[in-house]
Amino acid sequence: MNADIAVPTQETPFTEHTQRGMLPLFPLKSVLFPKGRLPLQIFEQRYLNMVRAAMRTDTGFGICLLREGDEVARPGMHQQVHRVGTYVQVVDWDQLPNGLLGLTVEARCKFEVLDCHAEKDQLLVGHVARCATDFMGEAPIAVTPEHDVLVSLLEQLTSHPVISRLDMQINYQDLRELGWRLCELIPLPAEIKQSLLELHDPLERVREIEIVLNRMMDENA
21 backbone φψ class: left, alpha, beta (φ>0; ψ -120 to 50): left
Residue 160 lies in a domain: yes
Q: What is the pLDDT of residue 3?
A: 41
In this structure, are 28 and 122 located in the same domain?
A: yes
Contact 104, 166 (CB under 8 A): yes
In this structure, are 66 and 151 located in the same domain?
A: no
Residue % of the chain over a pLDDT of 90: 80
Cβ-Cβ contacts under 8 Å for 56 (sequence gap 6 or more): none
CATH of the domain at 59: 2.30.130.40
Contact 133, 111 (CB under 8 A): no
Q: Which helix (H) or strand (E) holds 17?
A: none
Residue 7 lies in a domain: no
The b-or-e profile of 114-126 (16+ CB within 10 A means b, else e) is ebbbbeeebbbbb
16 backbone φψ class: left, alpha, beta (φ>0; ψ -120 to 50): alpha
Q: How far apart are CA 187 and CA 76, in angstroms?
A: 33
pLDDT, averaged across the chain: 91
Lowest-pLDDT range, 12-21, 32-41, 54-63, 72-81?
72-81
3-state secondary structure of 82: coil
Distances (CA, A) of 192 to 82, 108, 125: 12, 21, 25
In this structure, are 26 and 127 located in the same domain?
A: yes
Other Cβ atoms less than 10 A from the Cβ of 162: the count is 7
Comparing C-alpha atoms, which of 140, 133, 141 is closest to residue 198? Answer: 133
pLDDT band at 10 (very low <50, low <70, confident <90, very high): low
Residue 45 lies in a domain: yes
Where among 81, 107, 132 does a domain terminate? 132
Q: How far apart are CA 96 and CA 85, in angstroms?
A: 27
- Which tens digit of pLDDT belongs to each residue from 123-181? 999 999 999 999 999 999 999 999 999 999 999 999 999 999 999 999 999 999 999 99
Residue 50 lies in a domain: yes
Contact 181, 170 (CB under 8 A): yes
Q: Which amino acid is at 167?
A: D
In this structure, are 121 and 156 located in the same domain?
A: no
Residue 28 lies in a domain: yes
Residue % of the chain over a pLDDT of 70: 93
In this structure, are 207 and 155 located in the same domain?
A: yes
Domain range enclosing 109? 20-132
- Which tens digit of pLDDT belongs to each residue from 186-221? 999 999 999 999 999 999 999 999 999 999 888 876
In this structure, are 123 and 179 located in the same domain?
A: no
pTM for the predicted model, two decimal places: 0.91
In this structure, are 111 and 152 located in the same domain?
A: no
Residue 83 lies in a domain: yes
CATH of the domain at 194: 1.10.4060
In this structure, are 61 and 113 located in the same domain?
A: yes
In this structure, are 91 and 161 located in the same domain?
A: no
pLDDT band at 11 (very low <50, low <70, confident <90, very high): confident
Angle between helices 175-185 and 190-197 (to 10 degrees): 160
In this structure, are 79 and 111 located in the same domain?
A: yes
What is the number of structural domains in the chain? 2
